[in-house]
């Protein structure tokens, strides 16, 4: 049972700690910590959905069920893609390798 629990429950925590560099909470107070943890869990779950479904299937679902959300997300992604080259140019010298 412990092996099964480790397979299911501990992967998200390990992923948040290792890949996201999330070692401690940045705020104080139970309600604030709960809010910060909820945002981290939302980001983790959203990344899992995108890795399982793919962006094309997810956008098709949104366009079919929630067209306003799909329009908003498409605009946000377009803006991020437009600013990505400027951001990469700023961080590339500090990383020491090409992105």
CB 63 within 8 A of CB 73: no
Shared domain for 33 and 2, answered yes or no, is: yes
Q: Please, what is the end-to-end C-alpha distance for the chain in angstroms?
A: 42
Q: Find the angle CA(24)-CA(89)-CA(97) to the nearest 5 degrees.
A: 70
DSSP H or E run through 5: helix 2-18
Range of the domain at 87: 54-99
- 48 in the same domain as 65: no
Number of separate domains in the chain: 2
Q: Are residues 1 and 44 in the same domain?
A: yes
> What's this model's pTM, rounded to 2 decimal places?
0.60
Same domain, 69 and 87: yes
List Cβ neighbours of 30 (8 Å cut-off, separation of 6 or more). none
pLDDT for 88: 59
pLDDT of residue 99: 46
Residue 23 contacts residue 55 (beta carbons within 8 Å): no
What's the chain's length in residues? 99
The pLDDT value recorded for residue 30 is 93
Residues 43, 70 share a domain: no
Write down the pLDDT at residue 32: 92
3-state SS assignment for residue 23? coil
Q: Are residues 41 and 2 in the same domain?
A: yes
Mean per-residue pLDDT pooled into runs of 10, the chain (99 residues): 77 76 83 90 86 86 84 81 66 50
Position 3 scores a pLDDT of: 81
In this structure, the answer to whether residues 29 and 62 fall within a common structural domain is: no
Same domain, 45 and 62: no
């Amino acid at each position: 049972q412990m092996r099964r629990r480790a397979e299911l429950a501990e992967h998200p925590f390990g992923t948040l700690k290792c890949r996201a560099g999330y070692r401690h909470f940045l705020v104080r107070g139970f309600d604030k910590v709960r809010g910060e943890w909820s945002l981290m869990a939302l980001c983790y779950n959203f990344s899992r959905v995108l890795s399982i479904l793919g962006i094309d299937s997810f956008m098709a679902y949104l366009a079919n069920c929630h067209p306003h959300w799909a329009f908003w997300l498409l605009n946000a992604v377009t803006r991020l893609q437009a600013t990505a080259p400027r951001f990469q140019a700023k961080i590339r010298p500090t990383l020491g390798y090409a992105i």
